[in-house]
Structure 1
Amino acid sequence: AAEQAISSQLLDITIDGARGVLFNVTGGSNMTLFEVNQAAAIIRETAHPDVNMIFGAVIDPEMGDEIRVTVIATGFERSGVPRRALERLPRNEKPVPVANTPFSRPSESVSVGAETRFSADAKSASQSPSINTDDLDVPTFLRNRR
């Protein structure tokens, strides 16, 4: 499970040279500390020799005999090349030309003056309902029942 976590195709880069690793091992009630240690050893081999590793172990009875390893790695050197870029290097494919089609013109917009937009709001604000300040001690839901 640890090898699958660090070599997943979903990763942009490998964890080679990571200086900080946080990992969690989740397994069933029969998971042992030896299995957690094996996962740590596999991850440590791939990371930087001076890696700072922090781990967690969770027992989930619903996992049964399965083990799930979650790895978060940080502290990479800036010169690292993304894995996807490395996979693309050996290929000698020609780029596919893209058709030069013009974009459609946006529809014309109609501008509305500020006076038109806010005149309705000003009228409704000036006609606010009268509030009886004596009833403010009564909760709103009780006032509305009257």
Structure 2
Amino acid sequence: MVSEIAQTDNFNDRTNIKVVGVGGAGGNAVNRMIAEGLQNVQFVAINTDAKDLLRSDADVKISLNDASSRGLGAGADPERGSKAAQDHQSDIEEALKGADMVFVTCGEGGGTGTGASPIVARAAHQQGALTIAVVTRRSRSRDRSVPPPPIWASRTCARRSTP
């Protein structure tokens, strides 16, 4: 049953919701949400891989490029992903400005998603937005040659996002 307030013609929800895809998996999730027609949210893609950003349909794209990566990604190194996000902190904060709620989506185990998503979550939290992380872990059955992502990555995201 739909609430009475949602049925009125002049109902105007002014909640500012942003969905931020960090890294390749996060960017893929954002593209999927856009393709499925999710509306009334602003989509942001953040990546160290320039080619992934070119394929993004997000409203806002933030390239975490630096001289060492040259837009080729973080090389599955979370420290590089974290440093890249710290170097672009002001761009991230600007993209999150005015948000009431921020969903951060990423894949755990890669360099950008694992390293940069805690920086993004902290920035959203510090701006007063309700911050929710949706993290995907790589399936071992998908690629047995790749070791499972470290458990510490989840704990790090939670720990780093608190002020």
* Same topology, TM > 0.5: no
Give the structure-1-normalised TM-score: 0.28
Higher percent of residues as helix: 2
Q: TM-score, normalised by structure 2?
A: 0.25
Q: Which has the higher contact order (CA 8 A, sep 6+)?
A: 1
